[in-house]
Amino acid sequence: MLKRTLHELPEHLYPADEWRLVERGYSPRYCSRAETFFALANGYVGVRGTYDEGRPSTAPGTYVNGFHETWPIVHAEEAYGFARFGQTIVKVPDATILRLLVDDEPLSVPEARLHGYARVLDMRAGTLTREMSWSTPGGKHVELRSRRVVSLEHRHVLAVEYEVTMRGHAAPVVLRSQVLNLEDLSVEEASERPPDPRAGRDLADRVLNPVVVAHEGGRILLGYRTTNSGMTLGVGVDHVISTANPHTTDVAADGDRGEVVLTVDAQPGVPIRVTKFVTYQTSRGAPPEELTERCSRTLDRSVRDGFGALLDGQRAHLDRFWDRADVRVSQGAGTARLQQAVRWNLFQLAQATWRAEGAGVPAKGLTGNGYEGHYFWDIEVYLLPFLAYTQPRIARNLLRFRHSMLPAARERARELGQRGALFAWRTIDGREASAYYAAGTAQYHLNADIAFAIRRYVHARGDTGFLLEAGAEVLVETARMWADLGFHGDDGAFHIHGVTGPDEYTTVVNDNTYTNLMARLNLRYAAETMRALERERPAEHAALAAELGLHPGELDEWERAADAMHVPFDEERGIHPQDAHFLEREVWDLDATPPERFPLLLHHHPLEIYRRQVIKQADIVLAMYLVGDEFTAAHKRADFEYYDRLTTGDSSLSACVQSIIAAEVGDERRALDYFRFALMIDLGDVAGNVSDGVHIAAAGGVWQALVCGFGGVRDHDGELTFDPRLPRAWSSLAYSLRYRARQLRVALGHDEERYLLEDGGPVEVTIRDERRRLVPGQPLVVRPPGR
């Protein structure tokens, strides 16, 4: 049930354009959203879409993935095992700022008389450009162009090209190019907002302590160490100034600010161009001096290669991205708008993941500090499918990163009284940072989500080598946790009690159906994997088993638990209860709840919510998608009907999944409604908090809704099946899948569907329950059944 308001992008402000998001004028109302819309990132570093001049800005910020401060969590009432170490992503000094003064008049976008304003996020070029003319208060005309890029090729590099040309008159022009530690600004600003558990946290004490302050020519180098986490940071900026006008430069720096001041005697028609190269280096503890040295070397190379090379590399990387990731839809007159929104979501996936080597993907990518830069299950359930089928290299990196958290997860399992490993619900450094266990630590399902993602990745890529390298260890430790957590009840069934499923509007329940089904998969896949390794790689298996202290009976124990796993089912209603006792609860009257009371979590005490049948986000419905082979078609229809009317969609993770299952059960109207909702979660600011950053998981959900929902792709047994549901309102849908080192192209129309294997050996897939063989270069054309 859709209870939230969807706002479309205003056409006069953001005209439809398939490859670009274009802002046609400054609007105070859209200013804070635009900082997120126009954010640039590469998975390592991200910059919010602020104005070059630094103002106006509602929440400026540059973030480096994983660069965080820690702090002791103080609980209002302590208890054993509560999370102790908070972790918060830190704003690194902002190096994008170039303040412009003409005739000593500063350019300030909100007040300035501007003509021909256009800010453009070009999703093929990977740039943010701005063009406009400014009539100064003194009546002079200034032409301005800027271009910003966060390099997908060079993960430590971003750059801004800023060009000013006087028209008609000469004038003194001053450009103040800054690098600015913003941390003092944020506390004040944040305190004006009401408390919102979804927002980021502002750290009370100083985080960045300057260790290195240096400058030479147009280059500034700053090095920092954080107060608590001991992480280190190097920032470097360099400037290439290109103008035929007479000019001077001046440079200064201290621990909080570096500045290059360019003073120009600007002649009409003679452009002033400043190219600013910026680089960040972070480390868990290397000396800041070492990091600023690395910055220096990066700057040497960047200046040498120039801005043009950056742009070329950017385009090349995005060509590779779009080749595999693009999804094309057509919908008559609405195509450009629809395609724009689809591409904006997919582009966010590139920005969040492309260079996330050695790190995870924060819930907001690197576009804001919402959720404090933490890693959640979003990675495994909402991003992994996209990555496994478009960029398996990145999928592997992320799973390897998860594996690196195993020591912390083992320690956490001990604290919770369990064997094996229990991954932290939200974390940067691997330790649990969720201060509210009922909707945090209790989400044990994360363990199974990770196992699920490993299985999907291994199957999609055929990368069994990953199992030996890292996957099997995670599978064994997570399976151990489940086997220990649950118990065989008097009824002989295996029960898992006291856990929270994906839906956070009921917490700490018994036998959450999603959790039990996913745990079963985890247990079985772990056993199956270890048995296969024993057969196929006996030496490595023996070494691994010894290292893990795997005793002979464990695999049997897991399989017994999996086979006996209790899956709640209500015979009378013919549906799966969300948990053992969900259906006994009173039903929340969503029809009687006024729109301003959503999201419920901001207007009702948890106790009021938890005791009722009301759903924050897809839970059973998610299980129907991820482990759909556990449900009959009839049950899917019944379950979807039942749960849909209870679902608020208060979580951004919900609509995409609802859409997928609505499509599967043949409810095209709801599938499209939910899809539009998912698609516009950020661009339509559905949750009212897009200024905190992009909902990256929802963007991953958009790809899944397109490819798995309307596109009908599943892979329950590790093999591809297709059961497309092209909406009547759409004329076509085309997507690509990377599958076991082959490239598949699928183009769906109402009259025919084309399945093309571009390369590699032949492969078998299932199309609408029919086994089909795809041969490279020979498109398989299928006539969809009549409706």
Contact between 59 and 52 under an 8 Å Cβ cutoff? The reply is no
In the window 740-779, what residues touch a second copy (CB under 8 A)? none
Task: Determine if 434 is a binding residue for a second copy (CB under 8 A).
Answer: yes
Minimum CB–partner distance for residue 549 and a second copy (Å): 22
26 or 437: CB nearest a second copy: 437
188 or 491: CB nearest a second copy: 491
Minimum CB–partner distance for residue 586 and a second copy (Å): 5
* Residue showing tokens 């399992």: 413
554 or 579: CB nearest a second copy: 579
Q: Which of 607, 769, 777, 783 is the binder for a second copy (CB under 8 A)?
A: 607
Instruction: Find the part of the chain contacting a second copy (CB under 8 A) among 107-115, 170-178, 352-360, 431-439.
Output: 431-439
Contact between 241 and 218 under an 8 Å Cβ cutoff? The reply is yes
Q: Which of 12, 29, 188, 195 is the binder for a second copy (CB under 8 A)?
A: 195
Task: Determine if 81 is a binding residue for a second copy (CB under 8 A).
Answer: yes
In the window 511-530, what residues touch a second copy (CB under 8 A)? none
Contact between 348 and 46 under an 8 Å Cβ cutoff? The reply is no
Contacts 24+ apart (CB under 8 A), 627-633: 627/517, 627/518, 627/521, 627/716, 628/664, 628/714, 628/716, 629/716, 629/717, 630/517, 630/567, 631/576, 633/665
Distance from C-alpha of 375 to C-alpha of 371, rounded to nearest angstrom: 9
Distance from C-alpha of 459 to C-alpha of 395, rounded to nearest angstrom: 12
In the window 548-587, what residues touch a second copy (CB under 8 A)? 580-581, 584-586
Instruction: Find the part of the chain contacting a second copy (CB under 8 A) among 77-85, 359-367, 390-398, 515-523.
Output: 77-85
Instruction: Find the part of the chain contacting a second copy (CB under 8 A) among 71-79, 117-125, 246-254, 279-287.
Output: 71-79
Minimum CB–partner distance for residue 14 and a second copy (Å): 33
412 or 524: CB nearest a second copy: 412
* Site size toward a second copy, by CB under 8 A: 49
Minimum CB–partner distance for residue 498 and a second copy (Å): 3
**What is the layout of strands, in order, in the sheet containing 171-180?**
105-106, 98-102, 171-180, 257-266, 247-254
Cα dist from 443 to 67, 379, 448, 509, whole Å: 25, 15, 10, 10
195 or 595: CB nearest a second copy: 195
Three-state SS string over 149-197 comes to EECCCCCCEEEEEEEEEEECCCEEEEEEEEEECCHHHHHHHHHCCCCCC
Q: What DSSP designation does 244 have?
A: S
Contact between 752 and 783 under an 8 Å Cβ cutoff? The reply is yes
Distance from C-alpha of 146 to C-alpha of 128, rounded to nearest angstrom: 8
72 or 785: CB nearest a second copy: 72
168 or 489: CB nearest a second copy: 489
The answer to whether residue 504 is catalytic is yes
Q: What are the backbone angles phi and psi of residue 210, rounded to the nearest 5°? A: -65, 135
In the window 377-416, what residues touch a second copy (CB under 8 A)? 415-416
604 or 742: CB nearest a second copy: 604
Other beta carbons within 10 Å of 324: 16
Task: Determine if 193 is a binding residue for a second copy (CB under 8 A).
Answer: no
Instruction: Find the part of the chain contacting a second copy (CB under 8 A) among 136-144, 595-603, 697-705, 745-753.
Output: 595-603
Task: Determine if 440 is a binding residue for a second copy (CB under 8 A).
Answer: yes
Question: What would the two tokens of residue 227 be?
Answer: 């107060």
Q: Is 724 helix (H, G, I), strand (E, B) or coil?
A: coil
Instruction: Find the part of the chain contacting a second copy (CB under 8 A) among 210-218, 248-256, 429-437, 746-754.
Output: 429-437
- Calculate the CA 126 to chain-centre distance: 17
Q: Write the CB contacts of 738 (distance below 8 Å, at least 6 apart in sequence).
A: 324, 388, 389, 390, 391, 392, 460, 461, 744
Contact letters (x/-) for a second copy, 94-133, by CB under 8 A? ----------------------------------------
Q: Which of 442, 518, 521, 622 is the binder for a second copy (CB under 8 A)?
A: 442
Out of 183, 504, 630, 664, which one is annotated catalytic?
Answer: 504
Minimum CB–partner distance for residue 433 and a second copy (Å): 10
Q: Which amino acid is at 145?
A: R
Bridge partners, residue 669, by sequence = none
Q: Which of 12, 28, 29, 78 is the binder for a second copy (CB under 8 A)?
A: 78
Question: What would the two tokens of residue 425 be?
Answer: 């619900």
Task: Determine if 77 is a binding residue for a second copy (CB under 8 A).
Answer: yes
467 or 509: CB nearest a second copy: 509
Instruction: Find the part of the chain contacting a second copy (CB under 8 A) among 256-264, 466-474, 605-613, 675-683.
Output: 605-613
Task: Determine if 510 is a binding residue for a second copy (CB under 8 A).
Answer: yes
Bridge partners, residue 281, by sequence = 234
Contact between 567 and 516 under an 8 Å Cβ cutoff? The reply is yes
Q: What are the DSSP calls for 612-667, one per residue?
A: EE-BSS-SHHHHHHHTGGGS-HHHHHHHHHHHHTTB---STTSHHHHHHHHHHTT-
Preceding omega of 599 cis (within 30 degrees of 0): yes
Distance from C-alpha of 777 to C-alpha of 642, rounded to nearest angstrom: 45
Q: Which amino acid is at 465?
A: G
Q: Which of 417, 538, 718, 762 is the binder for a second copy (CB under 8 A)?
A: 417
Minimum CB–partner distance for residue 685 and a second copy (Å): 21
Contact letters (x/-) for a second copy, 469-508, by CB under 8 A? ------------------x-x-----x-xx---------x
Q: Which of 601, 655, 681, 726 is the binder for a second copy (CB under 8 A)?
A: 601
62 or 478: CB nearest a second copy: 478
Which residues are near a second copy by CB under 8 A? 73-83, 86, 195-197, 415-417, 434-438, 440-442, 487, 489, 495, 497-498, 508, 510, 580-581, 584-586, 601-608, 610-612
Active site residues per annotation: 504
